[in-house]
Amino acid sequence: MLLFKKKFLPAIRRGEKTQTIRLWRWRMMRSGQRSYIPGIGYIRIDCVEQVELNQLTDQDAIPDGFDTADALRQEINTLYREKIDAGYSAFRVVFRILEDAA
């Protein structure tokens, strides 16, 4: 299951947010996996890859629902400060809503 703040759900429904950056000790999801977002429904994980937060570009930020990499990093810092400080790794999770899997 992937949990999101309520403010992100409309962008996910509109298809504007198709990825998320998560901080984990190790990879928690895999490509091809089916998962669930409460308030959205079932999704398919298309890609999970480790990324370096300081190397994210503005192009990386757009599918995450942000205009710039700086805005994305600021949100990640707000949500995950303790995990960043603890040395967790950042993973990009690319997903799509499964329309036929309610």
Contact 49, 14 (CB under 8 A): no
Per-residue pLDDT reduced to its tens digit, 36-78: 999 999 999 999 999 999 999 999 999 999 999 999 999 999 9
Domains of the chain and any CATH numbers: 6-97 (2.30.130.30)
Q: Is the pLDDT of residue 102 over 80?
A: no
CA–CA dist 34, 51 (Å, integer)? 22
CB atoms within 10 A of CB 47: 14
Q: What is the DSSP track for 70-93?
A: HHHHHHHHHHHHHHHHTTPEEEEE
Edge to edge, the sheet with strand 89-97 lists 19-24, 89-97, 41-51, 34-37
Q: Is the pLDDT of residue 88 over 90?
A: yes
pTM for this predicted structure: 0.92
Q: What is the DSSP track for 50-64?
A: EE-GGG--HHHHGGG
Per-residue confidence at 99, pLDDT binned at 50, 70, 90? confident
